[in-house]
Chains A and B, each alone.
Chain A
Amino acid sequence: MTRPMDKADFVFSLVLTAFGLGVVVESLRLPRLAEQNINPYTVPGLLPGILGALMALCGIALLVRSALRGGWRLGAAEAQETQAEAPADEPAPVPDRHVALRLGVTVALTLGYAVGLFGHVPFGLATVAFIFLFTTATEWIELGRRPPLRALASAAVIALFVGFGVQLLFERVFYVRLPG
């Protein structure tokens, strides 16, 4: 049996080693400024090159360790993670079936707001839409059905208050012009 962390370590170690070697190559390609007669010990690529080499070394060390623990068997069955024992008088935890969906919705909405809307759509409008959508979608997932009208109404009020409140605060009090 292989622990999921060993597989993650194995994949990450490959990425880190490749990244470290890439940093070394890019550091060697940085200007040496020889034509300006600068002191050769002050070349800009000196420390980045050393850091790249160290990252590659750490990557190799992690690679060897995770490989020895079986992390290279990416398709192999996973050992169960040891779960902390709950106190005897507490109900057993219910498995959370919505993790992937909740996380996926969170990533999609946050990235959509920060990269898609922020800077392209007026700030207040974008923020109201984001907060309302985020609250409604995640509460829907949590409840397993459409949230009651009262919850939707309070989500809308919070979204309006925060969206335009933050805009007023930053633009009128801190003199930061928000984009869009």
Chain B
Amino acid sequence: MYGLESFLSAIAGFVASPAILDVFWATLLGIVVGMLPGLTATLGVALMTTLTFQMETDRAILILICMYVGAIYGGSRSAILLNIPGTPANAATSLDGYPLARAGRAGSAMAIATTGSFIGSLIGMAALAVVAPALAEFALSFGAYEFFWLSVFGVLIAGQLTALDDPIKGWIAGLLGLFVAMIGQEGIHAVPRFAYGSTDLRGGIQLLPAMVGAFGFAEVLTVMRHRAYRVVRGSTDSVWAGIRQAARYRITAIRSGLIGTFMGLAPGVGEDMGAWASYAAARQASKNKEEFGKGSVEGLVAAETGNNAAVPGALIPVLTLAVPGSAPAAVLLAAMIIHGIRPGPLIMIEFPDFVYSVVAMVFLATCAMAILGLLLTRPLLLVLRVTRERLMPIIFVLCTVGAFAITSRVFDVWVMVAFGVLGFILREMKYPMAPLILGIVLGDLMDKNLRRGLVLSDGDLSPFFNRPISIALWGSALLFVLVSMPATRRWLGRLVGGGRRRQPSSGQPGGTP
């Protein structure tokens, strides 16, 4: 009841204040950022953090959440019209959205994507309201050992799920991120590590310039490396027909919303996997599997519901464990810390109303997204006429100024450039960026809790392994590593295959061979 009251009072507060204008312009800007190939939700939220850090906390976080929700949704436009996902989260959208657009049903496809995104966001929002307080209470029982394993688990699972074909590359990216977090004065004895006499390096590598580089400058280089995009031209049908078509797949939408929320909850995994997992599940359960990839409405609903549900899902671990569920959520975590909020298990004790304020922010952003998405279908197409040759230098200027603005250090601009070049090279070699960023976020947590745990146990490693929550965390981490190994998969395959071969005879007593 307290939660509902807080939620309604937050909504009333935002609606009755000029903040409601922020909701619309920030969501619209997010949609535009998401639409433009090369501009990701992470970059949008990171750049907007640099522009809002002097605002009041609630207003700044509201703008960032609107940008996040808008960008993940906006990416569906370019996926549908260009066959280029505006953000990586919309890759699954292009599989069915683009064939629909080519068939002259671009308007329907955009409406289907809007409806799916709306439903997904609402399901994720409900989960955020229900799960976050409970998870925060549960997390109060976490000690140094559990937080150590939580950070290990986060980097491992993010590495594995963002590089499904080659998990070792995901883990290497995570290790590099953790190492970056080790640079600078450590948090227990203030000893500078890997600083080599540099005052700037003593202060450590800040998350925001690194993220702006890895997701902004690296993206500029990637976009300029690849072929220019062309918009699908031709007839477009009515958007309203799309809403009716999407409404037919209620079960798919609810299933995808739950899957997306769950994938958002997993550390560092985020919207991309939310969309892919929902799409795979929808295909598995569909009566019309053969239509998937050829313009299936059901597939489009699943992909868009899944990725938008992951947005509020990714905020759950941010608020309750200070562990981001996705790359944009990592920026939001940093922004909350900049604004004096301390996400983590104590959030329901220190800032109980803030959690419900965030739920209200997601709700308002979702409503704005649906209204703008449906009403501005045609005007928004003009955005795609901006050529990369004109857009990319502006983005790079914003990356440079954004990296500089937070602490006014030219060093941060160099960090942005270094991470941009490193990020570009790693991306070209198929290393995912999300584990790298998660590593930077979780490095300090891992370092402090490993050493605290060892002090508490006087060097005894057993508490790391025999406490119930620790067992669940390290057991899951070990399972993930083992399952990803080709040898283990071959062995499991043989086991399952052998079982299947034996099944007929064991199922038929006295059966003939």
Chain A positions near chain B (C-beta within 8 angstroms): 5, 8-9, 12, 16, 23, 26, 30-31, 33, 36, 38-42, 44-48, 51-52, 54-55, 58-59, 61-62, 65, 87, 93, 96, 99, 102-103, 106-107, 109-111, 113-115, 118-119, 127, 130-131, 134-135, 138-139, 142, 155, 158, 162-163, 166, 170, 174-179
Given that A42-B188, A131-B394, A135-B393 are known contacts, is A176 also in contact with B224, CB under 8 Å in the complex?
no
By a CB distance below 8 angstroms, the chain B residues around A163 are 397
Q: Which of B119-127, B169-177, B271-279, B312-320 forms contacts with chain A?
A: B169-177
Q: In the complex, what's the smallest C-beta–C-beta distance from A113 to chain B, in angstroms? A: 7
B interface with A by C-beta (< 8 Å): 51, 54, 102, 168, 171-172, 175-176, 178-179, 182, 186, 188-189, 191, 193-194, 217, 220-221, 224-225, 227-228, 387-390, 392-394, 396-398, 400-401, 404-405, 408, 410, 413-414, 416-417, 420-421, 428-430, 446-447, 450-451, 454-455, 458-459
Whether A158 contacts B179 in the complex (CB less than 8 A), given A38-B189, A41-B455, A174-B405, comes out as no
Pairwise interchain contact B182-A134, C-beta atoms closer than 8 A? no
Q: A5-B429, A113-B396, A138-B224 are in contact. Are A58 and B179 (CB under 8 A)?
A: no
Looking at chain A's contact residues, the main secondary structure is: helix
Knowing A38-B189, A51-B175, say if A103 contacts B221 (CB, 8 Å): yes
The answer to whether A44 touches B397, judged by C-beta atoms less than 8 angstroms apart, is no
A61 contacts across to B, CB distance below 8 A: 168
How distant is the Cα of A107 from the Cα of B188 in the complex, in angstroms? Answer: 40
Determine the chain A residues whose CB is within 8 A of the CB of B194 once the complex forms: 26, 48
Select which of A110, A113, A162, A175 is within 8 A of B394 by beta carbon.
Answer: A162
Known contacts A23-B179, A36-B189; 13 further A-B pairs (Cβ under 8 A): A5-B429, A42-B454, A46-B447, A47-B447, A55-B172, A62-B168, A62-B172, A93-B227, A134-B392, A135-B390, A138-B389, A176-B405, A178-B404
**Which listed residue, A31, A40, A59, A176, touches B408 by the CB 8 Å rule?**
A176
Q: Is the CB of B455 within 8 A of A42?
A: yes
Enumerate the 3 nearest inter-chain pairs by beta-carbon distance, A residue then B residue, closest first: A41-B454, A134-B393, A44-B191
Residues of A close to B408: CB separation below 8 A = 176-177
User: Contact between B397 and A127 (Cβ–Cβ < 8 Å)?
Assistant: yes
Q: How many A-B residue pairs have CB under 8 A?
A: 155
* Residue numbers in B under 8 Å from A38 (CB-CB): 189
Q: Which of A23, A59, A114, A158 contacts B400 (CB 8 A)?
A: A114
Chain A's nearest CB lies how many Å from the CB of B332?
19
Distance in angstroms between the alpha carbons of A129 and B193 in the assembled complex: 39
Whether B179 pairs with A118 at a CB distance below 8 angstroms is no
User: Beyond A114-B416, A115-B417, is A99–B459 a contact (Cβ under 8 Å)?
Assistant: no
Is A111 a contact partner of B397 (Cβ separation < 8 A)?
no
Closest to B187 in A: A44
Q: Is the CB of B172 within 8 A of A179?
A: no
What A residues does B398 contact at CB under 8 A? 166
Residue of A nearest to B222 (CB): A103
Most buried by A among B390, B416, B421: B390
**CB <8 Å contact, B178 and A58:** no
Known: A51-B178, A114-B416, A142-B389. A8 touches B220 (CB 8 A): no
B442 to A: closest C-beta gap in Å: 11
Task: Determine the chain B residues whose CB is within 8 A of the CB of A99 once the complex forms.
Answer: 225
- With a cutoff of 8 Å between Cβ atoms, the chain B residues found around residue A52 in the complex are 179
Contacts of B388 in A (CB 8 A): 138
Contact B450 A47 (CB under 8 A): yes
Query: How far is B188's CA from A42's CA once the two chains are assembled, in angstroms?
Result: 8
CB-based contact A41/B451 at 8 Å: yes
> A119–B413 contact, CB under 8 A?
yes
Complex: how many Å from CA A41 to CA B450?
9
